């Protein structure tokens, strides 16, 4: 897990990884008041380099959300990227375990992510999110509501907390990451 200051030394490598993995998207990893932590996976076997190679990255943001009359602590996992040469080797599971640990320590009840490849996240316990969400759409600079394709949720806490209702709107109280 990294602080913003610790991430500074890897920023160029993380930006290059995001451009490789998401060539048509702009991924913003700037810190804000919702940032809980950054996760980083390094390949220590990169012998030809003086430093370790960044092969994975992700971030977790936290905020209060509501569904119906219930308010809960939520985590939002974003910016997840694993270098294509390192996929299917357990690096994503390792990264997600780091991010999950941080969320549990922060008393997150439900963790959300928006996946390009949902099958990867099923392997670490995320389920498809069928509930609509109300969120701030940063590109259009307005609030929007819909069922986000690729939306996923994982519940923590005693007996996995109270479940997310499948058809009741979730008030995200901000942007998705």
Give me the tens of pLDDT residue by residue for the chain, a chain 177 residues long. Answer: 777 788 888 999 999 999 999 998 888 888 899 999 999 999 875 444 445 789 999 999 999 999 999 999 999 999 999 999 999 999 999 999 999 999 999 999 999 999 988 999 999 999 999 999 999 998 899 999 989 889 999 998 765 457 889 899 999 999 998
**Alpha helix (H) residue ranges in 75-143:** 91-105, 118-122
C-alpha span between 80 and 56 (Å, rounded): 7
User: Nearest Cα to 61, choosing from 100, 82, 33, 25?
Assistant: 33
Measured over the CA atoms of residue 127, residue 119, residue 103 and residue 14, the dihedral's sign is negative
Beta bridge partners of 146: 133
- pLDDT at position 172, please? 97
Beta bridge partners of 62: 75
Helix (H) or strand (E) holding 20: helix 11-21
Phi–psi pair at 17, nearest 5 degrees: -65, -45
Six-digit token pair at 129? Answer: 């999110």
- pLDDT at position 45, please? 59
- pLDDT at position 9, please? 87
Q: Quick one: DSSP state of residue 85?
A: G
- pLDDT at position 30, please? 85
Six-digit token pair at 144? Answer: 């929007």
User: Nearest Cα to 59, choosing from 73, 74, 75, 47?
Assistant: 75
Torsion-angle region of residue 82: left (phi > 0), alpha (psi -120 to 50) or beta? beta
**Is the pTM value of this prediction over 0.85?**
yes
């Amino acid at each position: 897990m990294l602080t913003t200051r610790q991430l500074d030394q890897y920023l160029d490598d993380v930006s290059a990884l995001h451009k490789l993995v998401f060539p048509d998207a702009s991924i913003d990893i700037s810190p804000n008041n919702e940032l809980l932590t950054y996760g980083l996976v390094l390949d220590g076997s990169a012998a030809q380099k003086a430093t370790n190679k960044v092969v994975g990255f992700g971030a977790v943001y936290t905020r209060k959300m509501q569904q119906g009359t219930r308010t809960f602590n939520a985590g939002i996992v974003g910016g997840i990227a694993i270098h294509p040469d390192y996929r299917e080797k357990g690096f994503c599971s390792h990264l997600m375990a780091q991010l999950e640990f941080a969320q549990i320590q922060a008393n997150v009840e439900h963790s959300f992510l928006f996946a390009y490849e949902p099958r990867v996240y099923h392997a670490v316990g995320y389920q498809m999110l069928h509930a609509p969400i109300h969120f701030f759409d940063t590109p259009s600079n307005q609030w929007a509501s819909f069922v986000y394709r690729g939306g996923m949720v994982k519940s923590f806490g005693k007996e996995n907390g109270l479940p997310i209702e499948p058809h009741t709107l979730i008030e995200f109280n901000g942007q998705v990451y």
